[in-house]
Amino acid sequence: MENLLEKKILLVISGGIAAYKSLEIIRSLKKRGAKVKTILTKSAKEFVTPLSIISLSQEKVYENLFSTENELEMDHISLSRWSDIILVAPATANIISKLSTGLSDDLASTVMLASDKNIFLAPAMNVRMWEHPSTKENLNKLKKFGYKIIGPEIGDMACGEFGEGKMTEPNEIIRQIESYFTNLSQNKKFKALVTAGPTREYIDSVRYITNKSSGKQGFELAKSLSKRGFETTLISGPTNLKVSEDINFIKVETADQMFKATQNNLPADVAIFSAAVADFKIKEQKEQKIKKEDYINLNLEKNIDILNYVSNHNSLRPKLVIGFAAETNNIKENAQKKLMEKNCDWIIANDISNKSIGFDSDFNEVIIFYKDQKINDEKLTIKKKSEISEEIINRVISQLN
């Protein structure tokens, strides 16, 4: 029960017959010491009253997107920032459809669109509505967006039919919320380091050598780690990506700067090296801009191999060291060779010859190669990088625990 003590739950009640169960959810959350604020949709008021919610939650009920009472607070922002998680129970077919398309025409949908918190949906609807292809498609989209789905169950419905679509019982919803916070608490003991993006190796004061890495996969990995409770540091080369305030974000440009930042942020429990670090740097960088008419001969020298250094450093080596390998051919052979030579625990390889995934794309397809020969290689087929990250971090947590 302590897992919910002082936790801040924003409960969204949408307009389904199962809305009456939301009162039991509020009662159970409060009994466990959670703080509960509630958004009531217009149609939900046909099933439960604001007064009953207020009496249980001891908090005001939020209903309107534009409220003269809270004009300065901007409820759709403040409620999102206040909460630890958002729970939608019941989640009707209507609100699921709205969320899947990004529609925000009321307070509930606007809060969720503006939120960076984990959102749990407890679907409840007629069996035919649940089985409709559009509902399945909408839920699949929401899962890709990172929404957590609880249920539904199979049973008798208020409409007299029997089948899947019945909202999960309040005690099971509470159990899953408790389990989420338990896992979050367990992961807080772990420290994670992620490198991302390209590096720049300067030729003169304005020109440099770089690569096409966008940093998107590394940023998504850091986001997934942070949302799962890890104390997360993200070291990134130049990108235009935004990062959550929960992440310790360090900006660098060159491979040397990334190496020093990595050293300064070890030890860690897990280190994921997804950055596309330049293999070479200019031996003698010119302080002034080189003129067009000047003869230039670029003398290169190798950059330090950050992954190799960390993997083979006895006192600083994390429990789990993961490297990335961007390959254009012989992916398996090159990845396995890198796995052995670098002495890391996993190599995550992707085929950058496929222009639709990998560099500067929102999608990726990877193969995870494990140093432990008892574990078979795993291929994560084409998905959004956010989904790839979630699957990778699931495996990280399993390994660390």
Q: Which residues contact 206 (CB under 8 A, 6 or more apart)?
A: 289
159 is catalytic: yes
Q: Can you name the residues that pair with 276 across neighbouring β-strands?
A: 198
Burial class of residue 334, CB neighbours in 10 A (0-12, 13-18, 19+): middle
What values do phi and psi take at 154, rounded to 5? Answer: -95, 135
Residue of 278, 266, 277 whose CA lies nearest to 193: 266
Q: DSSP for 249-286?
A: EEE--SHHHHHHHHHHT---SEEEE--B--SEEESS--
Q: Which residues contact 380 (CB under 8 A, 6 or more apart)?
A: 364, 365, 366, 367, 368, 388, 391, 392
Q: Can you name the residues that pair with 340 across neighbouring β-strands?
A: none
Distance CA 394, CA 378 (A): 13
Distance CA 355, CA 359 (A): 8
Distance CA 319, CA 267 (A): 9
- Burial state string for 164-182 with b = 16 or more CB within 10 A and e = fewer than 16: ebbbbbbeebbeebbebbe
Residue of 208, 266, 214, 268 whose CA lies nearest to 242: 214
| Contact call for residues 26 and 36 (beta carbons, < 8 A) | yes
Which of 5, 54, 159, 300 is flagged as catalytic? 159
Task: Output the CA–CA distances (angstroms, integers) from residue 60 to 18, 36, 52, 155, in the order listed.
Answer: 21, 10, 11, 34
So which residues are the catalytic ones? Answer: 159
